[in-house]
Amino acid sequence: MDKEHQYLKIINLEKSFGNKKVITDINLDVNKAEVFGLLGPSGAGKTTLVKCVSGIDTATKGEVYISGEKMPKFSLMEKMGYMTQSDALYEELSGYENLSFFASIYGLKGKKKTDRINEVANLVKLQDDLKKTVVNYSGGMKRRLSLAISLLHEPDLIILDEPTVGIDPILRKSIWDELHRLSKLGKTVLVTTHVMDEAEKCDRLGMLQNGKLIAVGSPAELKDSTNSKTLEDVFLKLGGAE
Ligand SMILES: Nc1ncnc2c1ncn2[C@@H]1O[C@H](COP(=O)(O)OP(=O)(O)OP(=O)(O)O)[C@@H](O)[C@H]1O
Ligand SMILES: [Mg+2]
């Protein structure tokens, strides 16, 4: 096996809440510098899976390896940026103060810190709103701030749980452009979505349904192998039998 390219490896992963199994025996390899999408309807298990991958939650069974090292491991988690589905922000602080707080946690200091804060704020077009208290932000602005925070420390693995919900089409495009730019720099991106046009922008996709991975491949491969015109059709064909 080519360890160099297999950046993220998920082996026999299972997650139960009580006696309810929500992730069933998932095996998946994600390559370095790939934009990998997890696609699936609400309740399919996308958030649960990325939480187990990031070490935020522990799987009931199975293993996760990053660069050949077993998770959870602090040195791996330090190199990870994780944007949760529900924004974890300090609402009584300003946007700038939120960024500054997380930058300090990541160990950024001095000029490097202010430079990075400005870079990520520009990236999500929040540079003019940084002084505002986050409680007065719109839903989309909070999403953008969460995204900026997850990118502050230039992580090698970027895990984004539905990053573009509530974000307008123009900014959505610039966010996707940025994800592709980061992947060209060698960063690996794991992103969840249930939006088909976003899924089309991923190098490869994993389709999740009822906690099971029902297909993995590039958007073109998935369409070709099922004789489908759209990813929606792929889903209906592969998942329809369940
Ligand atoms: N803490 C929990 N306790 C019990 N059940 C949970 C818990 N978290 C998630 N679940 C269940 O696990 C299943 C998968 O949920 P998950 O949030 O992973 O789905 P999702 O694919 O992210 O959905 P969405 O697109 O709506 O975000 C659901 O049936 C959900 O009710
Ligand atoms: Mg979710």
pLDDT of 230 reads 94
User: CA-to-CA distance for 75 and 55, rounded, in angstroms?
Assistant: 12
User: CA-to-CA distance for 7 and 9, rounded, in angstroms?
Assistant: 7
Range of the domain at 106: 33-61+79-214
Q: Which of 2-6, 29-33, 115-119 is the least confident region?
A: 2-6
Residue nearest to atom 28 of ligand 1 (CA): 43
Residue 66 lies in a domain: no
Q: Which among 16, 7, 23, 17 is positioned nearest to 213, based on CA atoms?
A: 23
Q: How confident is the model at residue 7 (pLDDT cuts 50, 70, 90)?
A: very high
- Strands 188-193 and 35-39 come out as parallel
pLDDT of 89 reads 95
User: CA-to-CA distance for 100 and 104, rounded, in angstroms?
Assistant: 6
Residue 227 lies in a domain: no
Q: How confident is the model at residue 81 (pLDDT cuts 50, 70, 90)?
A: very high
Count of Cβ atoms closer than 10 Å to residue 98 Cβ: 25
Q: What is the pLDDT of residues 185-223, one digit of tens each?
A: 999 999 999 888 899 999 999 999 999 999 999 999 999
Residue nearest to atom 27 of ligand 1 (CA): 42
* Mean pLDDT, residues 55-76 taken together: 94
Residue 153 lies in a domain: yes
How many domains does the chain divide into?
1
Q: Residues 175, 167: contact at Cβ < 8 Å?
A: yes
pLDDT of 16 reads 97
User: CA-to-CA distance for 31 and 49, rounded, in angstroms?
Assistant: 17
pLDDT of 67 reads 94
Asked if residue 2 has pLDDT above 80, the reply is no
Residue 241 lies in a domain: no
Average pLDDT score over the chain: 93
User: CA-to-CA distance for 20 and 197, rounded, in angstroms?
Assistant: 32
DSSP 79: T
Q: How confident is the model at residue 165 (pLDDT cuts 50, 70, 90)?
A: confident
Residue 134 lies in a domain: yes
Residue nearest to atom 8 of ligand 1 (CA): 48
Residue 28 lies in a domain: no
Centre of ligand 2 from the C-alpha of residue 84, in Å: 9
One DSSP character per residue, 174-208 reads HHHHHHHHHHHTT-EEEEEE--HHHHTTSSEEEEE
User: CA-to-CA distance for 237 and 73, rounded, in angstroms?
Assistant: 39
Ligand nearest to the CA of 57: 1
Q: What is the CA radius of gyration of the chain?
A: 18
pLDDT of 241 reads 53
Centre of ligand 2 from the C-alpha of residue 165, in Å: 11
* Mean pLDDT, residues 56-61 taken together: 95
pLDDT of 1 reads 44
Count of Cβ atoms closer than 10 Å to residue 193 Cβ: 22
Residue 191 lies in a domain: yes
pLDDT of 3 reads 47
H or E stretch covering 97? helix 95-105
CATH at 207? 3.40.50.300
Residue 236 lies in a domain: no
Q: How confident is the model at residue 5 (pLDDT cuts 50, 70, 90)?
A: low
Centre of ligand 1 from the C-alpha of residue 47, in Å: 7
User: CA-to-CA distance for 190 and 36, rounded, in angstroms?
Assistant: 5
What pTM does this model have? 0.94
Count of Cβ atoms closer than 10 Å to residue 21 Cβ: 17
